[in-house]
Chains A and B, each alone.
Chain A
Amino acid sequence: MKFKQASWASDACLEPLVFELSRANRTGYTLPQKKLPEVNIPENLARTKLELPELSEPEIVRHYTRLSQMNYGVDSGFYPLGSCTMKYNPKICEELAALETASCIHPYQDEDTVQGALELMYKLERCLTEIAGVARVCLHPSAGAHGEFLGMLLTRAYHKSRGKESKEVIVPDSAHGTNFASAAMAGFDVIVVPSNSRGRVDIEALRKAVSKKTAALMLTNPNTLGLFEDEILEIAEAVHKVGGLLYYDGANLNGILGKTRPGDMGFDIVHFNLHKTFSTPHGGGGPGSGPIGVSRKLEKFLPVPVIEYNKKRRRYYLDYNRPQSVGKIKAFYGNFGVLVKAYAYILLMGANGLQEITEAAVLNANYITRKLQGVEGYELKFDASGPCKHEVVFSVEPMKKNYGVKAHFIAKRLLDFGVHAPTYYFPPIVPEALMIEPTETETKEELDRFIAAMKEIAEEAKSHPDKLLAAPTATAIGRLDEAKASREPILSWRMYRKLPSKI
Chain B
Amino acid sequence: MKVGEHEILEGLYYTRSHEWIKFEGNLARVGVTDYAQKQLGDVVYVELPEIGKSVKQTTEPKTKEMELGAVESIKAVSAVYSPLSGTVKETNQVLQDRPELINTSPYSEGWICVLEPSNIEGERGSLLSPDAYATFLKTLG
Contact = CB atoms under 8 A, between A and B. Distances in A.
A and B bind: yes
A192 B59 CA distance: 11
A401 B4 CA distance: 10
A81 to B, nearest CB: 16
Contacts of A177: 77
Contact of A426 (B62, B63, B76): B76
21 contacts: A168-B63, A191-B62, A191-B63, A192-B61, A192-B62, A194-B60, A194-B61, A208-B61, A209-B61, A401-B141, A425-B75, A426-B76, A428-B78, A482-B74, A483-B41, A483-B100, A486-B42, A486-B72, A486-B74, A487-B44, A487-B99
Interface of A: 168, 170, 177, 189-194, 205, 208-209, 401, 425-426, 428, 431, 482-483, 486-487
Contacts of B64: 189-190
A177 B99 CA distance: 21
Contacts of A192: 61-62
Interface residues of B, number: 19
A209 B78 CA distance: 21
A205 B60 contact: yes
Contact of A483 (B44, B62, B77, B141): B44
A179 to B, nearest CB: 13
B97 to A, nearest CB: 9
Contacts of A482: 42, 74
Contact of A486 (B44, B60, B76): B44
Given A177-B77, A428-B76, A483-B74, A193 B61 contact: yes
Interface string B18-29: 000000000000
Contacts of B77: 177
Name, among B42, B100, B141, the residue most crowded by chain A CB atoms within 10 Å (CB to CB). Answer: B42
Q: 9 tightest CB-CB pairs across the interface, nearest first? A: A483-B42, A486-B44, A425-B75, A482-B74, A209-B61, A191-B61, A192-B62, A428-B76, A487-B44
A380 B108 CA distance: 37
B35 interface: no
A431 B72 CA distance: 16
Interface string B59-83: 0111110000000101111100000
Given A189-B63, A428-B75, 12 more contacts: A168-B63, A170-B61, A190-B64, A191-B61, A194-B61, A401-B141, A425-B76, A426-B76, A428-B76, A431-B39, A483-B100, A487-B44
B70 to A, nearest CB: 11
Given A426-B76, A428-B76, A487 B61 contact: no
B98 to A, nearest CB: 9
Nearest to A397: B141
B18 to A, nearest CB: 13
A192 B79 CA distance: 12
Contacts of B63: 168, 189-191
